[in-house]
Amino acid sequence: MLNFFKGYKVFAIVFGVISVIIIALIYNTLNVYQPLPIYQPAMVSTELVDSTIQYKKKYHKIADFSFTNQNGKTVTQKDYEGKIYVADFFFTTCQTICPIMTKNMEQIQSEILNDDDVMLLSHSVTPEIDTVAQLKRYAIKKGVNDAKWNLVTGNKKDIYAMARKSYLAVKDNGDGGPFDMVHTENFMLIDKKRQIRGFYDGTNKADIEKLLNDIRHLQKETSK
């Protein structure tokens, strides 16, 4: 009887090990990496998208742009060519969600500081207030690394167009004023082909972690 139980014990151990191996193989087979979605205007809330493109379902890309950064330098899409980048919209005098967004963008900056593949881009929605000098003061205060992160200002009409026609990221404030906009907490992940690959709550720590993970996934995807 004792030998029977000893034999059963050996059998149980072997069976258990084999079961774990089989489960691991099945998991790895099923857990195939799924590419990040490519967002189109039709996939995003209409309140964030210009009416002229709300129903566009394919071929959406970030348009060419030309703005001025915190150092008075002209920044264009050429500066982000071949880069993955995170974009958002803010203003320096905001006292609500902007400080949280900026702090979380600073965390992203620290994570990608030595990664030449990734950059950051923040657009002011109050360019009449956010002059180059104002952006520079803000950049110094918030620890912005000029080589990784551009804070940009420019013509309000152009920023409005980028926000609602390219990044699908801000609301029209509805007061009838030309190009008035209400920014959201959204961070947008842009790939090397200038496509939107993700939207994240820039005030939410869990979303920031997801964004960082998605950057790594996107790098693997683009390296293939």
Which residues are annotated binding-site positions for Cu cation? 94, 98, 183
Residue 216, Cβ neighbours under 10 Å: how many? 13
* Residue of 178, 149, 151 lying closest to 164 (CA atoms): 178
The Cα–Cα gap between 63 and 44 comes to 17
* Residue of 198, 218, 194 lying closest to 61 (CA atoms): 194
Binding residues: 94, 98, 183
The Cα–Cα gap between 119 and 137 comes to 20
Beta bridge partners of 171: 182
Angle at 149 between CA 220 and CA 112, to 5 degrees: 35
Tell me if 169 sits within 8 A of 37, measured CB to CB: no
